[in-house]
Amino acid sequence: MADITEFQVRKDKLDETRRVQHEKPAPGDGQILVKVDRFAITANNVTYGVVGERIGYWKFFPVSDEGWGVIPVWGFGDVEASNHPDIAVGERLYGYWPTASHLVMTPGKVSESRLMDDTPHRRELPPVYNSYARVNNEPGYDGDTDNDRMVLMPLYATSFCIYDFLKDNDWFGAARVIIGSASSKTAIGTAYAVKSDDAAPKLVGLTSPRNRDAVERLGLYDEVAAYDDIESLGGEISTLIIDMSGDGDVLGRLHKLLGDKMKYTSNVGITHFTANEMGPDFIRERSAMFFAPGHIQKRAADWGPGEFEKRAHAFWSEASRKSRSWLTIQEAHGFGAVEHAWRDVLTGGTPADSAWAVGF
């Protein structure tokens, strides 16, 4: 049997990477062996590495060498061998994978549409990450949208959650929403949701000078400003901040400018992970982390089984169709391609209107 290939990164030095190979195991009783086909790499995956210790992302696909880890990714896999009565060889699954060529899974709860990986070490982790879609059973499943789905579904599902959370809180009484790192896909998805709501406050996108034109061309934000121009936004309007940048300087300047008019800051991401130190102007008492899996669990309880997935899928489907007008997904294969995509995203080299779909 051929080997399993793993792409590992040093937990404390994400630009140090290595190839690790080990013998491919045969699935045990009730287990399946999945060949990971393709997956997306975006800033979201870099964040998994940056907060890996704090939030637990290294726990999904642990490796024996403590200093090294495997970054989780969203994508598709095909069942290569099965020792499970309900899962056939050849089934295609969408979900959360290691940056590796294969994964051994232990399906627990299996329904027509989904399966849960019940491998013991994953049980304590948020259920959304352990749930896999059995895509061949989805009505109208179209493999031509696989790349869109692996890149945009996890991000736009988050956008859907953010919109749902903010609307549920009456926009924290704000007359304006400012989105930081407005060129990120999670931000753009949020902008699609806000834009489609006539009752939503005015929407401002904040981005780096190099991405300003591209963000303006999207036509989703009522106003676009570069980080250099924060002070020109004016501090008199009551404002809600949805921040994907995690940039201490950007948030400090915004909070200083707004003072009491800063109604709430939702800290969603850290695309500027090297600048993630909050200074004295950052208003902690009206800022809070947003964690999409937590919101999904809340809505699963409020709305009943399957309803969140249905609504998020409908939102993703519409927004990803619209995204085809600006997004180019680059598909590439082989260990070198995975390594290249990782470094490209890690160093901020991937253009905002582009994304990677890679596999071994």
- Residues lying near ligand NAP in the complex (CB under 6 A): 42-44, 47, 155, 158, 181-186, 207-208, 211, 244-245, 268-272, 290-292, 347-348, 352
Give start and end residues of each alpha helix (H) in the chain.
43-50, 52-55, 146-168, 185-195, 212-218, 248-258, 292-303, 307-323, 335-346
Instruction: State in angstroms the smallest separation of the CB of 52 from ligand NAP.
Output: 12
Contact 215, 205 (CB under 8 A): yes
Pairing assessment for the beta strands 328-333 and 354-359 based on DSSP bridges: parallel
Instruction: State in angstroms the smallest separation of the CB of 126 from ligand NAP.
Output: 10
In this complex, which beta carbon is closest to ligand NAP, that of residue 5 or of residue 42?
A: 42
In this complex, which beta carbon is closest to ligand NAP, that of residue 84 or of residue 272?
A: 272
In this complex, which beta carbon is closest to ligand NAP, that of residue 27 or of residue 246?
A: 246
Q: Which tokens in the block code for residue 64?
A: 């024996």
Instruction: State in angstroms the smallest separation of the CB of 283 from ligand NAP.
Output: 19
In this complex, which beta carbon is closest to ligand NAP, that of residue 101 or of residue 211?
A: 211
Q: Report the Cα–Cα distance between both ends of the chain, in Å, rounded.
A: 17
Contact 117, 106 (CB under 8 A): yes
In this complex, which beta carbon is closest to ligand NAP, that of residue 92 or of residue 185?
A: 185
Beta bridge partners of 355: 329
In this complex, which beta carbon is closest to ligand NAP, that of residue 86 or of residue 277?
A: 277
Q: How far is CA 239 from CA 126, 176, 215, 257, 260, in A?
A: 31, 5, 20, 11, 9
Nearest to 313 by CA among 114, 164, 121, 154: 154
How far apart are alpha carbons 345 and 49 in whole angstroms? 12
In this complex, which beta carbon is closest to ligand NAP, that of residue 71 or of residue 79?
A: 71
Residue 137: half-sphere exposure toward Cβ, Cα within 13 Å: 15
Instruction: State in angstroms the smallest separation of the CB of 142 from ligand NAP.
Output: 23
Dihedrals phi, psi of 112, to nearest 5 degrees = -55, -40
In this complex, which beta carbon is closest to ligand NAP, that of residue 15 or of residue 197?
A: 15
Q: 30-67 burial string, b = 16+ CB within 10 Å, else e? A: ebbbbbbbbbbbbbbbbbbbbbbeeeebbebbebeeee
Q: How far is CA 233 from CA 95, 247, 263, in A?
A: 40, 17, 16
Instruction: State in angstroms the smallest separation of the CB of 64 from ligand NAP.
Output: 27
Instruction: State in angstroms the smallest separation of the CB of 193 from ligand NAP.
Output: 14
Dihedrals phi, psi of 122, to nearest 5 degrees = -90, -10
Contact 301, 273 (CB under 8 A): no
Instruction: State in angstroms the smallest separation of the CB of 104 from ligand NAP.
Output: 27
Instruction: State in angstroms the smallest separation of the CB of 32 from ligand NAP.
Output: 27
Helix (H, G, I), strand (E, B) or coil at 40: strand
145: which DSSP letter?
G
Instruction: State in angstroms the smallest separation of the CB of 187 from ligand NAP.
Output: 7
In this complex, which beta carbon is closest to ligand NAP, that of residue 44 or of residue 99?
A: 44
Instruction: State in angstroms the smallest separation of the CB of 350 from ligand NAP.
Output: 7
In this complex, which beta carbon is closest to ligand NAP, that of residue 80 or of residue 222?
A: 222
Contact 87, 110 (CB under 8 A): yes
